[in-house]
């Protein structure tokens, strides 16, 4: 079975500051991990994913995440926040099927 824990339902940063959104997972098999972004009243857009290979994954809009097996983590980072980054971010895990198990989400606020 798989599960995802996102620490911090709300994160606030200033424009230009580092963004760090935390995600820890649990999986009985080697996981596939995803980060999605959701803007108000819209569906989800894939930011990045880890399947196999390089543990540091780069995604769209300057985001990246690192798969750390020893820490069961897949934290999302961006060096410099932009106002347009304000949205809801979801971490998700899959255990070799196409079904995604989502975390509870983290709302990112960016202040000028």
Partner 1 sequence: GAVVSQHPSWVICKSGTSVKIECRSLDFQATTMFWYRQFPKQSLMLMATSNEGSKATYEQGVEKDKFLINHASLTLSTLTVTSAHPEDSSFYICSAIPTGRGLRTSGRGEQFFGPGTRLTVL
Number of residues that bind partner 1 (CB under 8 A): 25
In this structure, are residues 20 and 76 in contact, taking their beta carbons and an 8 Å threshold?
Answer: yes
35 near partner 1, judged by CB under 8 A: no
Measured from the CB atom, the residue of 10 and 112 that comes closer to partner 1 is 10
Choose, by CB under 8 A, the member of 29, 46, 60, 83 that binds partner 1: 46
Q: Are strands 2-5 and 24-27 parallel, antiparallel or unpaired?
A: antiparallel
Cα 112 from Cα 31, distance rounded (Å): 37
Measured from the CB atom, the residue of 82 and 99 that comes closer to partner 1 is 99
In this structure, are residues 13 and 20 in contact, taking their beta carbons and an 8 Å threshold?
Answer: no
Tell me which stretch binds partner 1 (CB under 8 A): 14-22, 46-54, 58-66, 68-76: 46-54
């Amino acid at each position: 079975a798989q599960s995802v824990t996102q620490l911090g339902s709300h994160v606030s940063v200033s424009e230009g500051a580092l963004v760090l959104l935390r995600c820890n997972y649990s999986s009985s098999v080697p996981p596939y991990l995803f980060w999605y972004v959701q803007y108000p009243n819209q569906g989800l857009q894939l930011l990045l994913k880890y399947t196999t290979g390089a543990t540091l994954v780069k995604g769209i809009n300057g985001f990246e995440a690192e798969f750390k097996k020893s820490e069961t983590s897949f934290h999302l980072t961006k060096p410099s926040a932009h106002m347009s980054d304000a949205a809801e971010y979801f971490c998700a895990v899959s255990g070799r099927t196409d079904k995604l198990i989502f975390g509870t989400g983290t709302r990112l606020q960016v202040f000028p």
